[in-house]
Amino acid sequence: MTTQKRQLIITGMDCAECAATLERGVSRLPGVETCEVNFAAARMNLSGDVPIEAVHARIRELGYDVDLTGAANSAQIPTAKPQGGIFGFVRFLMQRPNTIAAAIGALALGLGIAAQVVHAPLIVVDSLLLASLFIAGFPVARSGLRAALINRDININLLMTIAATGAVLIGELGEGAVTMCLFAIGEALEGYTTDQARRSIRSLMQLTPAEATVLRPCMDCQGHMGQDGYTGGPCPWCGYHEEKTPLDQVAVGDLILVKSGGRIPVDGRVRQGASGVNQAPITGESMPVEKTVGDPVYAGTINGEMALEIEVTHRAADSTVSRIIHMVEEAQAQKAPVQARVDRFARVYTPLVVLIAAVLAVAPPVLFNAPFLDVGDTHGWLYRALSLLVIACPCALVISTPVSIIGAITSAARRGVLVKGGAALETLGKVKAFAFDKTGTLTQGRPIVRKTVSTECREEAGVCEACNSLLALAASVERRAAHPLAQAIVSAAAERGVLDRLPAAHEVTTLAGRGVQGLVNGQPITVGSHRFFDSAYPHQEALCQQIRAVEARGQTTMLVHDGQQVRGYITVDDPERVSSQATVAALRQLPDVQHIVMLTGDSPATASHIARMTGVDSVEANLLPEDKLQAIRKLVETYGTVAMVGDGINDTPALAAASIGIAMGCAGTAQVLETADVALMGDDLTQLPYVVALSKQTHRVISENIGLSLGIKAVFLVGALFGLTGLWMAVLADMGTSLLVTFNGMRLLNFRR
């Protein structure tokens, strides 16, 4: 047996119950191993050995369809804003057979009511009402009956079909027609609002242009052939020429040109030029970020005042914006714990409602001689049971949670915050303790070298030849490392003109939390922390005293060993973020937050300096990755729900051990996106209080929606029992509640703290 994985784009899903119906129906096919339907993204993920034609047939049997064109998943969505309001809804109605039937049925119902008002012949009125009921109700009945036959499942469509059929049988043709048309239009309206939410996240796809301007060399130039020995290949005189190329044909390594004001089409690295780039669409940063040679740039961001030549580092399908969209849609599909509880309740609740309705229709007439059918203006118990059947549909309850999760996750994505699922969103609102990494999180993450001190130096400024040699030696090893401190040393060496004095080291090894080692001209060179050197490389007490004095001022030191002796040390300063203090203060003001701690591998003196500046409650220093892991475990034991905020590389174990891991400043870093539960795509720490507040607001909205769903139904259920609620009122209550909780959940799309 060969297991195949497929992804299908589903059309016709209007509510979360549709996704559940599809999952159960397709899972029953022989050969299907797993079937998961992402209602928010309208996608089905399928694995197993099953003919795809059989899957398509089953989907259509259940009343839905498959988009074989891929248009709904295309990255090239039209840039024109979709029309909203009543005209947008009318356009939506005309797009699918089910919604077209609902529209025609509603039109026939309107004509039937008008004919009744003008006292048209009864046959005309009844014909119009019957046509309305049949046209609008046929897709509903077909879907409900097929779900019952295929899934052994009672869904909302079957309940509505039973109610409408019962109304006709007891002579309430008008009630049946109104019931079915209101339901069909309500379902279409619910689908329309859901479609608007899907478009909201897919609008991120519009950030990238359809083409890129690729710079290609003039090859085998006939005009210069033979000149100065030129025999072919790239022409040294013509240089590059611009060529418009479809985005899917742009390859890694290609050189592209992005002019002033243009959108950057793919992820890359600046090869030539300098310009401010507006990264707000990806990271949420409000101010343009200056980009120069060597800096990364991301697809969907907007170039500023100068043209940039960019080397492509990722294909369009693998760009940052594509990964964000993919992960957001996956996140929307993940159920929060509260949603799972609601779904379990609904699975038991729906068949129970049918049983109660059947008992309600039969028991009073049999036991108390109450009227089964209507008598005069008094509704019989069959009519009341049908009303109860409609009112008690769990549609509003089932959709109350997922629509809120979709709205919140999409809102966060617009602000440059990736929340990976409803469970993460729910946990975030319960955090009682926050643990912060220092470098790149509470600090700017762009340290600079303050001083280079060789053991042979006799000058106060630290710029003698011995100090330059020390810096060159450290840079030769750090050129192969990616840590921010390494980048600071390399940048300082380049500024002093000593970066190329020695070749780049070979066999470079990172010593987690300690330093880095490598071979330079055959000699083992080590660059590491003072704590590491105290145990590994003995050195003079006078040197230790100098280093302690520097660290007491909040600077970090790195010592250098050349295989024979300690050559000196380099001091680095990483200033705190401007937003760190305000962020810590904002978190402390949130309900339930009890403790904020900083965990760092730096020295106690450096850590204490940053702790004082940012206002955290406590600090733990000199921590290796495994020490941070143990610190997080202790915090979890003490506080229960703990969030770890870090750069997502050295802090991976701690991020995984925390109740929720939050990665900082990770645009373009696939490892970080996979590790963290929440990713702040830009270097904006102020987004952390925002997303915590969003989580708490989402929890409130979900509670409101569940309360509305159950409260409104309870009122109308009482009315149904006493014969005060008609069928059309029952449908209005059910669909009205569904739309109410949908719109309430969609308010989170525009959440502002």
Active centre residues (catalytic): 437
Nearest-CA neighbor of 309 among 351, 277, 270, 354?
270
Q: Rounded to whole angstroms, what are the CA distances from 373 to 152, 173, 365, 577, 627?
A: 30, 14, 9, 74, 75
Please list, in sequence order, all residues whose beta carbon lies within 8 angstroms of the beta carbon of residue 370, skipping any fewer than 6 positions away: 364, 380, 381
Q: Which residues of 387-409 are buried (b: 16+ CB within 10 A; e: fewer)?
A: bbbbbbbbbbbbbbbbbbbbbbb
Determine the Cα–Cα distance for residues 630 and 634; give it in Å rounded to an integer: 6
State the CB neighbour count (10 A cutoff) for residue 81: 9
3-class secondary structure, 152: coil
Nearest-CA neighbor of 32 among 49, 14, 52?
49
Using alpha carbons only, give the angle 241, 246, 247 rounded to the nearest 5 degrees: 105
Q: Which amino acid is at 62?
A: L
3 state SS for 495-540: HHCCCCCCCCCEEEEEECCCEEEEEECCEEEEEEEHHHHHHHCCCC
Only one residue has tokens 């957001």, namely 328
Determine the Cα–Cα distance for residues 165 and 627; give it in Å rounded to an integer: 68
Nearest-CA neighbor of 496 among 475, 521, 510?
475
Nearest-CA neighbor of 302 among 323, 325, 274, 280?
280
Per the structure block, which two tokens stand in for 623? 């921590």
Please check whether residue 55 is in contact with residue 19, taking contact to mean a CB–CB distance below 8 angstroms.
Answer: no
Q: How are beta strands 595-599 and 618-620 bridged, if at all? A: parallel
